[in-house]
Amino acid sequence: MIRQLRGLRRDFDFHVLTGGHGRIAATCAELDIPCTRLAIDRKGKLPLGIFQLTAALRRIRPDLLITNGQWAGLIGPPVARLLRIPVRVYVARWPAFYTDWDAWRRFRNHSVERTACRHSTHVVSLTESVRRRYIERGLAATDRLQVLPNAIDPAEVPSSEDLRRLREEHGFTANQAHVVCVGRLSSQKRVDWLLRAWPNVRAAVPDARLWIVGDGELRSELERLSRELRIDDTCRFLGRVPRGIRFLAIADVAVVTTAYEAMGNAALEAMVCARPLVISAADGVADFVRHEDNALVVPQDDSSALAAAIIRLLRDRRLGERLGESARHMAQRYAPEPVMQAWREALLGMLASREI
């Protein structure tokens, strides 16, 4: 969303409604974009948030409302439809149906996605693989569904001097092989698959070091698992750090373990840095990773296959260089200019065909 604000602010008058004081609010302040905070950051606050949202939309009277993610999609489009806002766009950044782990979740997730899609005039997925899931589940008509990806800017790749300082600061020594995983420590990202693979990697490549970059509700559990597996001497948790792409850029191998993705930004960041990538097969990344072409793709929840792929890249640097260069070339498809042009044309087309 931040890249959309930066890339489209000259074409549209934005007013952002957000539930927090994070990066989105900071970007709005930087770009002088009006920003209103709503009580929508916790489930218990939603009744108040709906009241505040209704008041804000009555005041702003937008021609087009974009809702990002399932909770915004649950309340935004129905309220906007009642207020007769003509264009209501639901961007499926975190499709709820990927967490259909029990009967209650299936009912809840289907209800949330059905509500968001039903009351929106347009539904946007970030990748074709996710778009197909909406069609398979009958959540939205095909003529209301389209794919508009996120952008990844090659200018974000750190400079050689930045990377030198980062290596010195964190002890990325030249005589060791460094494997990096960047992402939230949540059930979605399945970092436990990587930890369980690590004993095999360490046995085959004794000088290998594993760096887990990110934070989340599972951090304590994952740190405990690393101790149980007796890998904590070669596995380090760095927590939340600014610009995780910097750590991907100094990786000998980047690893993305995931149960599902809307698009997979960490994978694209590794690719734009031309790093060798090992990634688990999942929706949202299947659109741009190709096994043996620009990454090594392994089955989900297969720690043996994951370990074998990491070991292979650590031992075969030429393969890593080939995959990394192919990945960098693929990532150019998601450069800001063509992606923002696609978003610009799509939004203008939605406004031109507005309905109530």
| 51-72 tens-digit pLDDT | 999 999 999 999 999 999 888 9
In our burial notation (b when 16+ CB lie closer than 10 A, e otherwise), range 144-163 reads: bbbbbbbbbbeeebbeeeeb
Average pLDDT for residues 335-352, to the nearest whole number? 95
- Is residue 351 a contact partner of residue 87, using CB atoms and an 8 Å limit? yes
Digit-coded pLDDT (tens) for 242-253: 889 999 999 999
Distance CA 247, CA 254 (A): 9
What's residue 190's pLDDT? 95
The share of the chain scoring above pLDDT 70, in percent, equals 99
Average pLDDT for residues 84-93, to the nearest whole number? 95
Domains and CATH numbers, the chain: 2-151+336-352 (3.40.50.2000), 154-333 (3.40.50.2000)
What's residue 356's pLDDT? 44
Task: Please tell me the pTM assigned to this model.
Answer: 0.90
What's residue 71's pLDDT? 84
The helix (run of H) or strand (run of E) holding residue 340 is helix 336-352
Distance CA 266, CA 245 (A): 8
pLDDT > 60? residue 41: yes
Region of poorest pLDDT, from 30-44, 264-278, 310-324: 30-44
What's residue 355's pLDDT? 56
- Average pLDDT of every residue of the chain: 93
Distance CA 114, CA 112 (A): 6
Pair of tokens at residue 70: 């399932």
pLDDT > 80? residue 335: yes
Which residue, 65, 309, 72, 305, is CA-closest to 179? 309
Tally the C-alpha atoms within 13 A of residue 350's C-alpha that lie toward its C-beta. 26
One-letter amino acid identity for 21? H
Burial class (CB in 10 A: 0-12, 13-18, 19+), 173: exposed
Average pLDDT for residues 39-60, to the nearest whole number? 89
Distance CA 139, CA 142 (A): 9
What's residue 291's pLDDT? 97
Pair of tokens at residue 204: 């085959």
pLDDT > 90? residue 20: no
How far, rounded to the nearest angstrom, does the alpha carbon of residue 30 sit from its chain's CA centroid? Answer: 23
What's residue 101's pLDDT? 86
Digit-coded pLDDT (tens) for 190-228: 999 999 999 999 999 999 999 999 999 999 999 999 999
